[in-house]
Structure 1
Amino acid sequence: APLPVLNRRLSLIKSRLMPRGIKIKSESPAWSEVQAVLARGDARLAEVLADLEQASLSAWRKSAQKYHLDIDFYAHQRWDVNQKLPWDAIDLGTPHHRQELELIRALSKDTDIV
């Protein structure tokens, strides 16, 4: 989901639970997006990382824009189970068909809330 939608959902959850004495601590959706790019990134990410002078969202966004890094490509697209992925060179110790089943299961869950 786009960052404004995620921020709105998180705010709604927090506002509804706070009166019940439940405090929610969460990662910011913007930083989660950065983590998604780092997790899915490939060699095209190298220039962006080398260019960073500080660990801030604004520096990240400037560097990503400078090197034409498509954040949506890494963070928001649905990955095809047959697509070659950056981490395919690493043996995860789990058969590929098992990973495929887990992905299908995760994508089949209803995640459309608020």
Structure 2
Amino acid sequence: MSQRRSLVTGLEETPDLKALERKFVFGDKEESTDVSDATLESVSHTNESVLPQYRGRVPLTTRCRPELASALKRASLKRQLEGKEPYRIQEILEDAIEKWLRSQGYPS
């Protein structure tokens, strides 16, 4: 039977799990594109038109006609094959919504 130890002793002997996790995910090299929470907060609070609870990309779900969804997917794939930007559905939708908001007088 293994030797028993206290919880505090076990925690003190535990290696740095964050470092082990980073090494497992990124390998031996450190990921230099990490964005800290402080950076995200400073970016999100610098723009007054963005609500404080929205950080990064915000999920937005909607339903549309099947014809529209098919046409959007077809356009996305065709643009990707042709090497044209934007080709991701998300980027195409963001561009279209931004243009519509500006045309209606809403700041974006």
Q: Identify, as 1 or 2, the structure richer in helix.
A: 1
- Relative contact order: is structure 1 or structure 2 higher (C-alpha 8 Å, sep ≥ 6)? 1
Structure-1-length-normalised TM-score: 0.26
Structure-2-length-normalised TM-score: 0.26
